[in-house]
Amino acid sequence: MTPALISEEQVQRLLPVRDCIEVLRNAFGLEYINIPRYRLKSHNSLLHVMSASIPSLFVMGLKSYGTSRSDASFAVLLFDEPSGKLLAVLEADALGQIRTGAASGLATDLLANPDARVGAVIGTGFQAETQLLAIDAVRKFGEIRVFSRRAEARAEFIDKMQSRVSTRLVNASSAQEAVTDADVICTITSAKDPVVEGGWIKAGAHINAAGSNSVSRREIDENAVRRATFICTDDVQQAEIESGDLTAVLQDWSNVRELQEVVKGRCGRTSPEEITLFKSNGIAVEDVAAAHYVYSRFDRALA
């Protein structure tokens, strides 16, 4: 059988953020093999490759993408794990956007206080959309504050997203205004230097730091990391390679836990006053699980 070719538009239709949160919850509850991202530096571009296998779902695969100063292109190859047969090739820009938001949504559901009422999203780009949708899916907020450096970008983002969420979006004039007294904070920026300071963060808050996967970039400052008494990431091995938010602060990684441990109930928030931090880098098992879900729905649609 010819492998399925699945377009960006089909991925967007078949993988709602709410569904993807549950896809990742299921995947992190299973046994899997994950290989951290590695990057090939060519003359003009970077080639990024990451792979994973989920044997109990009978799938394995890889995501590969090329980036340059002017462009980026993403693809996932999904294979049948028992036979090694290629099942599908998926365009994966939207898939990456959705699963990144869903990972933050899952972490928020597991770690944020149940009575969280104020959210904050720092960043208004492509990836910020699914961060917003994901946290809105798992908590009943009274408001979610939005900040990015350009006022026009904030206004456009709120205008685009307000009808897609159940809570009121508020245009914050500064990152501090957005974060102060917020119960859930998402950072999803391309900033090189911290955009959120630990002194702004209230006791009991949950933070999703999702914008950086480079040791040369940080979104939250040293104080924010030190105030978080529970820190988890999607994969510790990958975080040690590319989490600038953590590598700039931590000497001892023994207390950094993985999201799969939280899903399995082995660790998590221990008090309403604790500050919790999910450092998201994006790992291949998330892409493979999401691609498998899309493929299973795509296959049924063609049957």
Tell me which residue has tokens 């970039």. 217
User: Per residue in 239-287, pLDDT tens?
Assistant: 999 999 999 899 999 999 999 999 999 999 999 999 999 999 999 999 9
Q: Virtual CA dihedral for 132, 185, 225, 265, nearest 10 degrees?
A: -70
Q: Check residue 216 and give its pLDDT.
A: 79
pLDDT for residue 78 is more than 90: yes
pLDDT for the residue numbered 185: 98
- Residue 302: is its pLDDT beyond 70? no
Domains and CATH numbers, the chain: 4-96+284-302 (3.30.1780.10), 111-279 (3.40.50.720)
Instruction: Please state the rounded mean pLDDT for residues 34-40.
Output: 95
Mean of the per-residue pLDDT values of the chain: 96
pLDDT, average across residues 222-235: 97
Pairing of strands 143-147, 118-122: parallel
- Write down the pLDDT at residue 301: 66
pLDDT of residue 214: 79
**Position 31 pLDDT exceeds 80:** yes
User: pTM score, two decimals?
Assistant: 0.96
What DSSP letter does each residue of the chain carry, written as one string? Answer: -PPEEE-HHHHHHH--HHHHHHHHHHHHTS--EEEEEEEEE-SS-EEEEEEEEEGGGTEEEEEEEEE-SS-EEEEEEEEETTT--EEEEEE-HHHHHHHHHHHHHHHHHHHS-TT--EEEEE--SHHHHHHHHHHHHHS--SEEEEE-S-HHHHHHHHHHHGGGSSSEEEE-SSHHHHHTT-SEEEE----SS-SB-GGGPPTT-EEEE-S--STT--SB-HHHHHH-SEEEES-HHHHHHH-HHHHTT-S--TT-EEHHHHHTTSS---STT--EEEE----HHHHHHHHHHHHHHHHHHH-
Give yes or no for residue 60 having a pLDDT over 90: yes
pLDDT surpassing 70 at residue 158: yes
- What's the pLDDT score for residue 30? 98
Amino acid letter at 105? G
pLDDT confidence of 165, banded at 50, 70, 90? very high
The pLDDT value given to residue 269: 98
For the chain, percent of residues with pLDDT exceeding 90: 94
What local confidence, expressed as pLDDT, does residue 212 receive?
A: 81
Q: What is the mean pLDDT of residues 91-106?
A: 98
Distance CA 111, CA 294 (A): 27
Give the pLDDT band of residue 1 (cuts 50, 70, 90). Answer: confident
User: For residue 52, what pLDDT is reported?
Assistant: 98
Q: How confident is the model at residue 20 (pLDDT cuts 50, 70, 90)?
A: very high
pLDDT at 215: 82
DSSP letters of 10-36? HHHHH--HHHHHHHHHHHHTS--EEEE
Weakest-pLDDT range from 104-113, 140-149, 178-187, 240-249? 240-249
Whether the pLDDT of residue 303 is over 60: the answer is no
